[in-house]
Each structure stands twice: as structure tokens, then as C-alpha cells.
Chain A
Amino acid sequence: MSRKVCIIGGATTPFDYGPTGFESIEGGAAECIKETQQDISGFSLRDLDLMIYSHFSVHFSHQLAPEWIIHDHLGLVGLPHFRVENGGNTGGSALYAAALAVMSGHHDVVGIVGWETMDSVSQSQGSEFIAMASDIRYELMVGGIYPIYYAAMANKWMKENHVTEEDVATIAVKNKNNAMDNPKAQWYRNDHRYITVDDVMNSRLISYPIKKYDCCLMSRGVAFLLVCSEEYAKKINPDHYVTVEGMGLSSCTIRAGDRLNNPGWSERYGPGYPGMTEFAACRNSAEQAYKMAGITDPLKDIDFGEIHDAFSTSEAQIYKALGLADENTIAKFIRDERTSINGDIPMNPGGGLLGYGHPVGATGLMSTIECYYQLAGMIPQKHLSKKTEVPDPECGIVNSHAGTGTSISNFILRRP
């Protein structure tokens, strides 16, 4: 019988993009751990029995095995460590690995450090580095960067689901404006303004139907998350821990065009699915997580989420993949603002990737940490006000997403 997995703390550095950098990666990791210790006074580095490092691209870190620098700096020699890399789902996959380690009974207290330093190259060079996670033999040189692949998928999805540019713009507005209540968020630290749907509609074309403000931010940032057994959670942080009730991890093709007629999906969900529009790995991993957590009606059973809004369009696509709406209801679901902080299932109250930022290896951890803060009642001390606090949440979903939907994980977190 596998053991319960708990999350008892975590913190991020501010996420930012700048030519100066505001800390070294190992310094950032140290500060994240110290902030976590302020929240959990009983937590000592000596309690850790495994460290997992979550980092996407050594192109950005201009250093192979950069986790060795961090691990060494933290004084953790002798402790087992390894790095997880799984594209944009690196953070989610690192959490998956940590949870497996605790579930198995082999480890009790697992730390995860995630980071990315995307400001080490120019934005357009950075886009090209990320595009190296597409199939470079076929897709990289044909004008291909990720926003363009996503735009091609979203364009068809929006038409098939009767979702307009204005509809998805409301998602960008929601998340960036939520980030204005979060002092660590990149949108708060840089652009620092509330925006409207018109601002999104009038921002420059990235790739139709995606405009600049529909896109997440390239970031520098570090995050730390503490995952442990129930026994340790009850001992160290009895009043502020949450449980990982469900988790799922699934996969899809690297090239989005290979999702047409794919026999692996046809045998699961019938012919024609997912095409180039649906995130099958999101649906599949959500189904795994729901089953494990005993969730039968996600809209009713889940109170809020921190999900992978790399683009406003993908947040809308994720709503559908999570089973919150179907093709007949998704447009109305968005227009009714069900996912705003005052809605019945707020999404990305922490700002999401669109507002908080997307330093790839740290991103999934950031989403988990924000979800944890909400469930542990810590938003008033972490955000600037209670404006972005979900009222009395019992259950949250964390979603981490890679490639063009190539690897996706979902986690159900609950108050004990």
C-alpha cells in the first residue's frame, strides 16, 4: 500500500527578466529555502533525504549539470540528487518524481529546486532555444517557434469551439491583473499595470490569433518545494500542510501534426481525437488524477486551480481538457467569468505564467506553491492583499504542461 504524500512549504524568488540578474541561481535556491524555513520553523536541511532538481535547458544555463552547483552550495554533499527534465512540464514531472519517492516509502523528506535563467540570451534567441524542443529536423527552420505552433492549434480550436479572440483576451486580462496583487510576479515587477481586453486586442501580432499580451513571459527565477510523508508533515507543520490526493502524467506526440489519426489515442478516445486542437495528455492525466482523488465532477469537487497558461488560448483549451466544459459550453464558461477570483472555480489567482512568469524549470513548482498557499491559508501573508485569496478552498488542481501538449501532469491537492 502506497503512502500519502504531503506538501508542507515552498517559496520562489521574484520572477523577472533583466540584463542584470538579481541573484545567482544557487543564491536564489538558498533564499527560497530560507523563506520556507520562516514559514516552517522546525524544518532543517538535515531532515532532507533526497533532492530533485527541476531544470529545462542547459542552453539557458550555459553549464552542464548546473544542479551540481546548487546542491553543493546548499551544503548537501552525500545526499542523493538527480535532475528531472521534461520540457515545460519539468516542474510537474519533478513533483511527480518526488511524490513517487515518498509514496514508495524509500524517502521521507524530498526537496525540489527548480530554475531557469532565460535572460541569458535575447528574447528572439530564447524563442529559438525553446523551439529546439520541437522536432528540429522538421519544424525548427520553417518559421517555427512555440507561439506559432500554439497559434496554429488554437486557431482551429477556437473556431470549432466558438471561442473568440475577445474571449481568450479576458483570460490574459484576468491573469495579468491577478499578478498585480503578487509582489513576486514578473508582470507586477515590470509592466506593473492593470490591463483591459482592448489592450490585449491592440497588442502586437505574435501569430494569429495570439497577440503579445496573450503570451507568457520569458523569465529568470528559482523555486523551492518541500514534499514529504504524512508523518513528517504532522510533526513539522501540522497546521499548514496539504496532501497530494491525486496525480497523473501523460504524453502526446512531439509534432502536433502527428496527432491526426494517431492509433494510440484512437483506441483510448475514439477516432478523430485529439486532432491538432485538444490536449489529449491533459485529459488523460486529469482522468488519472481524478480517479486517484475520487473526483467525479471536477467542476463541483475542485475549488480552484493553478494551471499552465503559457498562452491565453491554452488556458481555454485546458479548461476543456480538464472536463470543466465541453464544446457547447466552453464559450459561455469563459464569458461567465467562472474562473475569475469571484467565480466558482478561480484559475491562476497567483497570476499564472501570463502574470507571474515562466522560468521553465521553476514554473510547475510556482504553480504548486501558489496552490499550497491558497489551501494553507497563507495568501494574506504572501500576496499584497486578500483580493486574490480563494474563499475557504478545500481542493485545488495544479497543471504543468510541455511541448505542444507533449507531456502534461495534473495534481489534486487537498486540505487534510
Chain B
Amino acid sequence: MTVTVVMKTKKEKFADPPNFTEKKDYRPSDVRETGFAFVGHEISEDRTTMNQFLHYDQLYTIRHGWNSKFFIGLLDGKIMGTRCPKCGDSWVPVRTHCWNLDCNLQKTEWIEMPLTAKVHTWTVAGWSGRSSLKRLPIVLVYANIGTSKVAMANELHGLNPWDVEFGMPLKIVFKPKQQRVGAVTDFHFEPADFWKPSPMNPEKQRIKDLVMPVYEWVKTLK
């Protein structure tokens, strides 16, 4: 038996890497990847218990891959959705393959959605994650954008928090182009121009009573 060994003179790749030509770095100047560091400790008076403070932060690369068109669309002030050519269902947030088992993971096609939406459900937040505390109170809505079969979460601005209502018509408003980062925070919802809040009622008053202390509390944040 003879074995033929083919020597390759040049390293072959199975896929061409993307050529990343547009690069942006907008990290605040005080953000650094410091790696792991013990930055302090504390010991109880009776010296039986110790706490140690470990600090680390890491830079993650979120590779959007086949979903990239949605996030690039945000930079351009567009809401890109996807649509199944077989059953016609469409989505924002996008699906690159159809969710309908009968369509058997059919690849979907990209469509540009209109910048209009409708509230499916809502809440008024008086507390949130660390990076959102200063924006409180936040009206968070789940809304169907354009023809989307699913509802997408985002903040609703441009009204008193207690005036939000089910089914209200919305428009999508983007940040100025130079402030966009290709993330869902590039846009928010606002009431459609023709929408008017309904008169005060007991539930709205209840929400107002719950929300007023939140405004005061946020003022105390450093």
C-alpha cells in the first residue's frame, strides 16, 4: 500500500474572513481592561471572617453574524426585519430561519419595516439595572413594529409615564446619526403624532403616586 502525501505550499482557508473597513471606538477614556486584580479586603474584628474584593472587566466581541443587517440598519436609522418566503410570517427581533416547523428552518429574507408600532403591553419601571438607574422612571413597552408577528421591548419617551396605554400607536425615533452605536438603544418609541392621552383616572393617579418619589430618588444619585 502506498500513501500519497500532498504538501501544501500555502495555507488554505475554508472561508474568507470579513474585511472590516469601518471601525469605531467610542469607549469612555476611563474604561480599561485591567484583567484580574485583587483590589482590597476586609476582616472581621474577631478575625474569623474575611472578604476579598476581586475586580475584573473584559472586552467582549458580539459577533452578530447573520443577524448583522439588523444592527447595521440601526446605524442607518432603519428597522430591518425578516420574512419567511414560505409562510409569510415576519419578525423584529429578527429570525434568520422560520419558526414554523412546517417551513423546516426555511431561510428568511430581509425586509425594511415602517417606523411605526403598536403597544402590546407596558410597565412603568421605578428600579432597574445599574446602568439604567439614572434614566428612571422608564416606561418600557413591548410593541409590534410594522408587520412583525412578535413584540419588541424598548423605552417609550415623550409622555407622562402614567399616560401610557394598551394598543396606543407609536412612532420609532432614532438618535442623531453621530450618536448611534448599532444597538437597540439607538432608537426609542414615542406616541404617534395624532395620539392624545386620555383623561386622568384612578389607575393613572395610582401610577403617578408611585412614580413621583422615583423622580426625587433619582436626583439623589451621584
A124-B133, A256-B142, A263-B101 are known contacts. Are A206 and B125 too (CB-CB below 8 A)?
yes
For window 101-142 of A, CB contacts with B under 8 Å fall at 122, 124-125, 127-128, 131, 135-142
**B-chain residues with CB within 8 Å of residue A207 when the two chains form the complex:** 123-127, 140
CB distance from B39 to the nearest CB of A (A): 13
A276 touches B120 (CB 8 A): yes
- Total chain A interface residues with beta-carbon distance under 8 A: 51
A124 touches B152 (CB 8 A): no
**A-chain residues with CB within 8 Å of residue B214 when the two chains form the complex:** 204-205
A260 touches B149 (CB 8 A): yes
B122 touches A264 (CB 8 A): no
A137 touches B129 (CB 8 A): no
B210 touches A258 (CB 8 A): no
Is A152 at the interface (CB under 8 A from chain B)?
A: yes
Is A100 at the interface (CB under 8 A from chain B)?
A: no
Q: Of B121, B154, B206, which is within 8 A of A276 by CB?
A: B121
B54 touches A62 (CB 8 A): yes
Is A148 at the interface (CB under 8 A from chain B)?
A: yes
Q: Interface SS of chain B: helix, strand, loop or mixed?
A: mixed
A148 touches B140 (CB 8 A): yes
CB-defined interface of A392-406 with B at 8 Å, one 1/0 digit per residue? 000000000000000
- Report Cα–Cα, A127/B71, bound state, in Å: 25
A20-B49, A206-B125 are known contacts. Are A137 and B210 too (CB-CB below 8 A)?
no
**A-chain residues with CB within 8 Å of residue B91 when the two chains form the complex:** 258
Which A residue's beta carbon lies closest to that of B162?
A208
Is B135 at the interface (CB under 8 A from chain A)?
A: yes
Is A261 at the interface (CB under 8 A from chain B)?
A: yes
CB distance from A271 to the nearest CB of B (A): 11
Is B131 at the interface (CB under 8 A from chain A)?
A: yes
Q: Of A141, A148, A257, which is within 8 A of B120 by CB?
A: A257
Is A273 at the interface (CB under 8 A from chain B)?
A: no
Q: Of A131, A135, A206, A277, which is within 8 A of B93 by CB?
A: A135
- Report Cα–Cα, A53/B37, bound state, in Å: 28
Most chain A beta carbons < 10 A, residue from B124, B138, B166: B124
- Report Cα–Cα, A142/B206, bound state, in Å: 24
A142 touches B154 (CB 8 A): yes
**A-chain residues with CB within 8 Å of residue B71 when the two chains form the complex:** 137
**B-chain residues with CB within 8 Å of residue A165 when the two chains form the complex:** 206
Which B residue's beta carbon lies closest to that of A261?
B149
**A-chain residues with CB within 8 Å of residue B138 when the two chains form the complex:** 143, 148
Is B205 at the interface (CB under 8 A from chain A)?
A: no
**A-chain residues with CB within 8 Å of residue B132 when the two chains form the complex:** 141, 143-145
- Report Cα–Cα, A20/B154, bound state, in Å: 37
- Report Cα–Cα, A351/B154, bound state, in Å: 34
**A-chain residues with CB within 8 Å of residue B210 when the two chains form the complex:** 205, 208, 211
A205 touches B54 (CB 8 A): no
Is A310 at the interface (CB under 8 A from chain B)?
A: no
A144 touches B130 (CB 8 A): no
For window 34-86 of B, CB contacts with A under 8 Å fall at 44, 49, 51, 54, 62, 64, 67, 71
**B-chain residues with CB within 8 Å of residue A255 when the two chains form the complex:** 93, 150, 153
- Report Cα–Cα, A124/B126, bound state, in Å: 12
Pairs A–B under 8 Å by Cβ, sample size 25: A124-B130, A127-B129, A128-B131, A137-B62, A141-B185, A142-B140, A142-B153, A148-B138, A152-B121, A155-B123, A159-B166, A204-B213, A205-B126, A207-B127, A207-B140, A211-B210, A256-B151, A257-B93, A259-B150, A260-B149, A260-B150, A263-B102, A264-B101, A276-B142, A277-B121
List the 10 closest pairs (A to B, CB-CB), nearest first: A205-B126, A257-B151, A128-B129, A151-B123, A143-B138, A205-B210, A156-B121, A124-B130, A207-B125, A152-B123
Give 14 new A-B contacts, CB below 8 A, not counting A148-B140, A204-B126, A206-B126: A128-B131, A137-B67, A143-B132, A143-B135, A145-B129, A148-B138, A205-B124, A207-B124, A207-B126, A257-B120, A259-B150, A261-B150, A262-B99, A263-B102
